[in-house]
Amino acid sequence: MQQVDLTTLILTCAEIHPQWIPARVEQVYQRDRYTIYLGLRTLKGRGWLLISWHPQAARLCMGAPPPKIPDTFTFSEQLRHQLNGLALVAINQAAPWERVLDLQFARRPQEPALWHLYVEIVGKYSNTILTDSENMIVTPAHQVSSQQSSVRPIQTGEPYLLPPSLTDTIPTLEEAQPRWQSRIGLIPGKLNQRLLKTYRGLSSALVNQMIQAANLEPEQLTESLTPEQWDNLFSQWQNWLQVLSYSTQFLRSPTESSKVSSPQPGFTRSGYSAMGWQIIEPVKTLSELLDRYYWKQLAQQEFAQLKHQLQQKITNWRKKVGHKAQTFQSRLEQSDNADRYKHHADLLMANLHQWESGTQAIALPDFETGEIINIALQPEKNAVQNAQHLYRQHQKLKRARKAVEPLLAEVNEEIGYLDRVLVSLEQIETYQDTGDLQTLQEIREELIAQKYLETSEPKASKTTITSEPYQYETPSGFQLLVGRNNRQNDRLTFRTAGDYDLWFHSQQIAGSHVLLRLPPGAVAEEVDLQFAANMAAYYSQARHSEQVPVAYTQPKYVFKPKGAAPGMAIYQKEQVIWGYPQKVVEKLLSDLGVQT
């Protein structure tokens, strides 16, 4: 994940300054343990200033309104108490060439600042700290004790100190090209590494984009550069310093707005560029870019972690329940021999005269076939006692069958439920949009409700938006809906489905509920039925098979047993059609432009 560097931070502040300084603080809201929003109002409107000290996604920008979920954090409560109603009168760099911002709050513009909110965008050590006018720490987002850091503890009541300064050379516009070139080329090496190790204020992303903008390769050796290539690179270097100089000057003096050079920010192939280098998707503002990029990256990260946790947990449960099913099945197989014990007892009672004291086995002819049957005996017991023991074994196994059969049915139903959950997880292969993460969050909430997860493993958080099923269009133009989890399956089948629709499901195989929406009077063509069957086969446990039997019927013939687990349904009056999941794979690849 690309981190906010000095250039991005300064350009973002320069972008925010004209519209939002000064602004009145109307609301303080903390979204999570790393992110707060300041609700700002000016004469032109209202907006949200996002401040994040996330170890990988620390940033400051104007963002979309926060979600409407309860704020239970003490840090935001303290900020709310001190800052509500005051004016944000300045956003300054706390020190030149440092990624530390000083947000100043006063009763009115032009009055002395009553509070300072220091935002430190320094990677995994990022923090946000509120101090009074004397720079005494009132509350930090993250306290750092002297045991955690002997260099710079951060605790309430202590004076605020800036992070230790770096010692690398500070870039300047006044530095001549020969001197600049000799610094970089002093030690032979890769061009991007030499720039990073020689000067302050640079990041890997910025350096690579700058080098590529000069039509060079980041890992090109410094000793291989021609004079023309050095000139091109120095031109980009000067361009960067000019933009940075104008932006910092603007922050110090708002009257210098005419000097601000605002590059067109945008997304690159591997991240984003605040300088407009190597972009493939431009955006209107840098705040919009940062807001979109980091929420997507964080969502992808949460998606991957949550999917792994859920798959691991359900797989373990599936193994445990599967082992239980095997045990019950083994006991049932043993009970199949119950009649054999009774038969042996009958033979023994009919041939008591052949029994001899102390014998461990006896061979007796079968009543019907005459075949010799060997019967094991307990030598310490007589013939009658051995027969009684065999009768008791017969009764015990009979009782075991009556007890085990419902248990096995219950376990098999649980296995079916866990298989449906695993299918839902496997179908969401990669993160594409927020709907994918919402689908996983719904699965997590369901598993917590079904007692498969503790509320703190992983941490439970109510989803604020209901996820939507997959939507497709059949060859005749009808809408096809595919459930992505058990909650969606139940909603599709028992709420969304209408009298004229058709319901599809892979036969005797865990999979999604598929709903073919048909308007009144419409009749699905054979190609529509086949399309729906293919989709039902693809979104099932048998998606890698060549063909899968798919049942379809009218929704009124689909029922949910009382007390059944989410996603469970039984159906009647079905017809069966073969679905071909590989045709769906070919279609999806074709839509992506991949030749098969």
Specify the CATH number for the domain of residue 88: 2.30.310.10
- Do 52 and 160 have their domain in common? yes
Residue-wise pLDDT tens for the chain (596 aa)? 999 999 999 999 999 999 999 999 999 999 999 999 999 999 999 999 999 999 999 999 999 999 888 899 999 999 999 999 999 999 999 998 999 999 999 999 989 999 999 999 999 999 999 999 999 999 999 999 988 888 889 999 999 999 888 788 999 999 999 999 999 999 999 999 999 999 999 999 999 999 999 999 999 999 999 999 999 999 999 999 999 988 887 665 554 444 445 789 999 998 999 999 999 999 999 999 999 999 999 999 999 999 999 999 999 999 999 999 998 888 877 776 777 778 888 888 888 888 888 888 888 888 888 888 888 888 888 889 888 988 888 888 777 778 888 888 889 999 999 999 999 999 888 898 888 999 999 999 999 999 998 875 444 444 445 788 999 999 999 999 999 999 999 999 999 999 999 999 999 999 999 999 999 989 999 999 999 999 999 999 999 999 999 999 999 999 998 888 899 999 999 999 999 999 988 876 566 444 44
Please count the structural domains in the chain.
Answer: 4
The full length of the chain comes to 596
**Do residues 216 and 191 make contact, with C-beta atoms less than 8 angstroms apart?**
yes
Q: d(Cα 19, Cα 17) in Å, to the nearest integer?
A: 6
Q: d(Cα 354, Cα 333) in Å, to the nearest integer?
A: 32
- Percent helix, strand and coil across the chain, each rounded to 5? 45, 20, 35
- Do 507 and 424 have their domain in common? no
- Do 160 and 12 have their domain in common? yes
Range of the domain at 506: 468-591
Classify residue 64: in a domain, yes or no.
Answer: yes
Tokens encoding 266: 């945008």
**At 193, phi and psi to the nearest 5?**
-70, -35
Tokens encoding 254: 């708002």
- Do 139 and 14 have their domain in common? yes
- Do 10 and 159 have their domain in common? yes
Q: d(Cα 130, Cα 104) in Å, to the nearest integer?
A: 10
pLDDT at residue number 596: 41
| Residue 251: CATH number of its domain | 1.10.8
- Do 215 and 346 have their domain in common? no
Q: d(Cα 466, Cα 140) in Å, to the nearest integer?
A: 35
Kind plus residue range of the DSSP H or E element containing 328: helix 286-335
From 517, 506, 543, select the one nearest 428 (Cα to Cα).
Answer: 543
- Do 559 and 429 have their domain in common? no
pLDDT at residue number 591: 60
Classify residue 308: in a domain, yes or no.
Answer: no
**Which residue, 134, 165, 196, sits at the end of a domain?**
165
Burial 154-186 (b: 16+ CB within 10 A, else e): beeeeebeebeeeeeeebeeebeeeebbeebbe
Q: Is 303 helix (H, G, I), strand (E, B) or coil?
A: helix
Place of tokens 């989890």: 485
* Distance (Å) of CA 13 to CA 8, 92, 171, 286: 9, 8, 20, 10
Kind plus residue range of the DSSP H or E element containing 289: helix 286-335
Q: What residues contact residue 475 under an 8 Å CB cut-off, 6+ apart?
A: 525, 527, 528, 531
**Which residue, 234, 252, 273, sits at the end of a domain?**
273
Classify residue 302: in a domain, yes or no.
Answer: no
Classify residue 401: in a domain, yes or no.
Answer: yes
Q: What angle, 0 to 180 degrees and rounded to 10, lies between the N-to-C axes of helices 6-20 and 286-335?
A: 110
**Do residues 60 and 118 make contact, with C-beta atoms less than 8 angstroms apart?**
no
From 73, 79, 92, 90, select the one nearest 131 (Cα to Cα).
Answer: 79
